[in-house]
Amino acid sequence: MTMYDKVRAALTRSSMPPELPVARQAAVAAILHGPDAELLFILRATVAGDPWSGHIAFPGGRRESHDASLHDTAVRETREELGIDLSSAELLGVLDDVGPVSRKKPLVVRPFVFHVPELPAPAPNREVADVLSAPLGDLLRGVDRGTMPFEWEGHAITLPRVDLAGHRLWGMTLRMVDDLLHRVDGAGTGLSRPNENRR
C-alpha cells in the first residue's frame, strides 16, 4: 500500500463536515505531490500588521462572496498565490475545521487535501516568500519535531513545532498537519505525537 493509498483510506472514512454559519470563513489546500508524497507549504511574506506574517502555512485564504464553496476558495487562493490550478486535481478529502485560539473574532479555516502527481513549477505572488515541501513519511516519524516555549495571555506554555528548511512549522498549520497524521497512523496530535527525542 502506497502512502497515497493510506491517506485515501484514512480520509475516505471521514464525511464532509457541514459548513458553519460563521461570518469569517477561509480555506486552505494541503497538496500532496510527487512519488514520496511530499506535503507542500508556503512561507508567508513579511507584512506589517499581519498576524501570520512570515509563518509557514498552506496556500489559501478567506472566502470571497463569489466563491461557490470553501473548496472553490482553496482552489482560487492556490491559483492566486502559487499559479497552481487544482480545479482538476484529485481531492483526497477534508480535514477538521480549525480556528485560531488567540483571536476574538471567529474564524473557521477548512483544510482540503489534494493529490497532484507532478507538481508544476510554482509561480509565487507577493504574498509568498518561499515554497517548501516535506515528505509525509518524515512528518509521520517525527523528523525535526520538538517543542517550543510560547507565551499566551500572560502564561508560559509549551507548543509542538517542526523545523522545516530553517523555518518553524507550528500553530494552526501544524494542527492541520497533525490531524492528517493522526488519521493515517493514530499516533496522536500535538505534544503527544512521537518526535526524534521521544519515540
Residues 68-117: tens digit of each pLDDT? 999 999 999 999 999 999 999 999 999 999 987 655 667 889 999 999 99
Residue holding cell 486535481? 89
pLDDT at 53: 75
* Tens digits of residue pLDDT in 153-193: 788 999 999 999 999 999 999 999 999 999 999 999 999 99
State the cell numbers at 4: 497515497
* pTM more than 0.85: yes
DSSP symbols for 22-89? -SSEEEEEEEEETTTTEEEEEEEPP-TT-TTTT-EE-SEEEPPTT-SSHHHHHHHHHHHHH----TTS
Sign of CA dihedral 117, 75, 91, 56: positive
Q: For residues 76 and 154, give the distance between their C-alpha atoms in angstroms, rounded to a whole number.
A: 38
DSSP state of 16: P
Instruction: Determine the 3-state secondary structure of 177 from DSSP.
Output: helix
Higher per-residue confidence, 17 vs 169: 169
Higher per-residue confidence, 23 vs 193: 193
Q: Is the confidence at residue 37, as pLDDT, over 70?
A: yes
Q: For residues 84 and 76, give the distance between their C-alpha atoms in angstroms, rounded to a whole number.
A: 9
**Out of 31-45, 91-105, 109-123, 144-158, least confident range:** 91-105
Residue 157 one-letter amino acid: I
The pairing of strands 108-116 and 25-33 is parallel
Q: Is the confidence at residue 199, as pLDDT, over 70?
A: no
pLDDT at 13: 73
Average pLDDT estimate for 40-65:
89
Q: Is the confidence at residue 195, as pLDDT, over 80?
A: yes
pLDDT at 153: 79
Q: If we measure between CA atoms, which residue out of 72, 75, 71 comes closest to residue 93?
A: 71
Residue 197 one-letter amino acid: N
